[in-house]
Structure 1
């Protein structure tokens, strides 16, 4: 569940949703990355 994710990951997903929801490909990529255990790697990428 979302509650089990690190707070940082929830923030990243929320940001991606707000910023990239119009771009389906990028949105899907952000969703895939939201499942990564290390959200900091996503931020740095």
Structure 2
């Protein structure tokens, strides 16, 4: 599975593509530790999901 993480850091929009659910969860935790963001501030999209 591929995921897109979207968040705003300062005045910049950040988009990251992550492969794998475990990797996504690890990266989500890293972002929260490195910034003042919470997991509620980060949008996660399943890139493989069809609409």
Q: TM-score, normalised by structure 1?
A: 0.36
Rg larger in 1 or in 2?
A: 2
Indicate the structure whose relative CO is greater, using CA pairs within 8 Å and at least 6 residues apart. Answer: 2
Pick the structure with more strand per residue: 2
Q: TM-score, normalised by structure 2?
A: 0.33
